[in-house]
Amino acid sequence: MSHTVNGIPASPGIVIGPTWTFSPPRADVEAYTVANPGVEQLRVRAAVAAAVEQLAALEERARATIGDEEAEIFAAHQMLIEDDDLLADIHNLIETRHVNAEAAVHEIIEATAESMLELDDDYFRARSADMRDIGRRVIYALMGVTADVGRLPPEPSIIIADDLTPSDTVQFDPANVLGLATVRGGPTSHTAILARSLGIPAVVSAPVELGSLANDTPAILDGLSGRVTFFPTTDEVEEAQAQRRDFLERLAGDHATRLEPALTRDGVHVEVVANIGNAEDARRAIDNGAEGVGLFRTEFLYLDRDTLPGENEQIAAYRAVAEIIGDRPLVVRTLDIGGDKAVPYLGFAAEANPFLGWRGIRLIDHHADVLLGQFRALLQASVGADLRIMVPMVASVEEAVQARGILNEAQVALHAEGRPQAERVQFGVMIEVPAAALMADKLAEVVDFFSIGTNDLTQYTLAVDRTNERVAALATPFHPAVLRLIAQTIEKAHAAGKWVGLCGEFAADPAAVPVLLGLELDEFSMAPSAIPTVKAAIRRLDRAECRAIAQDVLNLPTAAAVREYLAAHS
Ligand code: PEP
Ligand code: MG
């Protein structure tokens, strides 16, 4: 009998096919006493070497098929497993207790993962899952379990799993993955991000009874609505087929026109630009029709290392992007760490509430030098570019003024040193904290532009931790409170003659386009893969009509009412 479960949409598209349930191979570890600890230590060395080799291959594979950012996950895993302290602990345990290699690896990895969990810090919690992932890999190597056998779908299937690690996901042959549904995980989980990069429809937080689901169960997975239907009726299959055809046709049409500008039906040009993290993304952005970059996240230069990157290293990384972007607008965000991304060498301590803690521009008090260094590198890397620099997590006018002062200091110093630097430079702030949105009129007086970060603005306005799966469904930017803050930000900026972009995930949601267009947003910035679809959505709309839509939704009482209204007017 047809049976539907409702999860959270994580990657768009509709697929129909047989299910295949993924379960990691069992690696039940038995502890026993060994006569010769030296042999066990050698086995650990060999297994770690094998794990590193597998991870290097996965890194290569991810780099070739998905992108640099995803490949970095596996580079980080290699670093974790080769950690000297961790290996020393394992060897010591074998030496002192004469236990077998599997038991020693299991015990040390579990203890390390547990202590990371106890830190009550999202960054370390995520690391704890990584730790278990690599522990499993080493134990498989010790037991001679081949990670791949029996773990890969034999034919194109909808993969259902309790949860998937990045290494699980990358090992699947994309040709055999019609779609993905996981019981756990939120829309910002690694699986969701990978699925979007690969263009595979996905649903997360789907309450599927894995125990009673046989392989080859006929199913429909709808990554647009978040629904997964098992044993669909003929009518349901026919309807899904029609929806799938429409979706694919529209996608092909959007792709064909991706390089054309986004002009509304009444002739208003809206800038559609990309969120990127490195040069590879920049290339993909231009291929997908980006008219520039609206958010270059620079954290990657600072993460997974022990010391600050030097000026020359930074210049090289920024220049690689600036050269690809050429004359197009290039909005770079300065270092946004804290929250779920900690950098130990900058003196981060565990915090009870890292998202309310020492994050983003708040580093300026103790690390003005880091910001100055970044400004210097950006200015030197962007000679001839249309450079726009913005700072994250601003909550007050003082922070904006202070940051702008440091930018000015960098410009004056470079001039005095006779070094070439960008001639065209705008300075902006991200609007991510409700206080900043409420103070938009005053902030607009001290900056050249705003970029609204709806991922954080939603989290802070609605008091929902963006990394907490249990409240993931509450974190919607369609909530009228978030929309009112966006409206107010744009209105105040325009009154002061300043432009406004939006670089949170909201900009990539076609359902949000009429509202944002109606609120007169100047620039939409999103993952490169979303650009063709959003450009096409803009072309179908009339801005005058969207103004009326925007005013209507601002007066609705709930996020659900807003979504319903927008669905009825699409
Ligand atoms: C945002 O908060 O919307 C944003 C774009 O920044 P990040 O997701 O990097 O915090
Ligand atoms: Mg943010």
Query: pLDDT digits over 146-176, tens only?
Result: 655 456 788 899 999 988 876 777 778 878 8
Q: So what's the pLDDT on residue 337?
A: 86
Best-predicted range by mean pLDDT (76-85, 472-481, 551-560): 551-560
Residues pairing with 220 in the sheet: 16, 229
Q: Using a 6 Å cutoff on CB, does residue 386 contact ligand 1?
A: no
Q: How confident is the model at residue 189 (pLDDT cuts 50, 70, 90)?
A: low
Domain boundaries, the chain: 3-22+149-238, 37-143, 253-568
Q: So what's the pLDDT on residue 126?
A: 65
The reply, when asked if residue 278 is annotated as ligand binding, is no
- Ligand 2 ion: nearby residues, β-carbon < 5 Å: 432, 453, 456
* Three-state DSSP class for residue 222: strand
Q: What is the pLDDT of residues 527-554, one digit of tens each?
A: 898 999 999 999 999 999 999 999 999 9
The reply, when asked if residue 333 is annotated as ligand binding, is yes
Q: Is the pTM of this model over 0.85?
A: no
CA of 98 to the centre of ligand 1 (A): 49
Ligand 1 atom showing the smallest separation from residue 295 Cα: 5
Q: So what's the pLDDT on residue 484?
A: 98
- Kindly list the distances between the CA atom of residue 165 and the CA atoms of 152, 194, 364, in Å, as whole numbers in the listed order: 14, 10, 35
**Residue whose CA is closest, atom 7 of ligand 1?**
455
Q: Using a 6 Å cutoff on CB, does residue 453 contact ligand 1?
A: yes
Torsion of the alpha carbons at 556, 557, 558 and 561, rounded to the nearest 10: -40
Q: Using a 6 Å cutoff on CB, does residue 504 contact ligand 1?
A: yes
Q: Using a 6 Å cutoff on CB, does residue 335 contact ligand 1?
A: no
Q: So what's the pLDDT on residue 309?
A: 92
- Please indicate whether residue 489 or residue 116 has the higher confidence score (pLDDT): 489
- Gyration radius from the chain CA atoms: 25
CA of 455 to the centre of ligand 1 (A): 5
- Please indicate whether residue 567 or residue 517 has the higher confidence score (pLDDT): 517
| Nearest ligand, measured from the Cα of 454 | 1
- Please indicate whether residue 450 or residue 476 has the higher confidence score (pLDDT): 450
Based on the residue annotation, tell me whether 98 is a catalytic residue of this protein. no
Segment 277-293 shows an average pLDDT of 94
Pocket test for ligand 1, best of 296, 456, 486, 506 (most atoms within 8 A of CB): 456
Other Cβ atoms less than 10 A from the Cβ of 203: the count is 31
Tell the CATH superfamily of the 3-22+149-238 domain.
Phosphohistidine domain (3.50.30.10)
CA of 165 to the centre of ligand 1 (A): 23
Q: So what's the pLDDT on residue 149?
A: 43
Average the pLDDT over each of 34-43, 69-78, 262-271 and give the range with the smallest value: 69-78
Segment 400-412 shows an average pLDDT of 98
Q: Which CATH number fits domain 37-143: 3.40.50.2300, 1.10.274.10, 1.20.120.10, 2.40.50.140?
A: 1.10.274.10
Q: So what's the pLDDT on residue 32?
A: 92
The reply to whether domains 37-143 and 253-568 share a CATH topology is: no
Instruction: Classify 253-568 by CATH class.
Output: alpha beta
Q: So what's the pLDDT on residue 54?
A: 85
**Is residue 345 within 8 Å of residue 403, measured between CB atoms?**
no
Q: Using a 6 Å cutoff on CB, does residue 454 contact ligand 1?
A: yes
Residue with tokens 């990539």: 508
- Please indicate whether residue 81 or residue 382 has the higher confidence score (pLDDT): 382
The reply, when asked if residue 155 is annotated as ligand binding, is no
- If you write DSSP's letter for every residue of 107-140 in order, what string do you get? HHHHHHHHHHHHT--HHHHHHHHHHHHHHHHHHH
Which tokens sit at 42?
């050698």
User: Rounded distance, CA 547 to CA 549, Å?
Assistant: 5
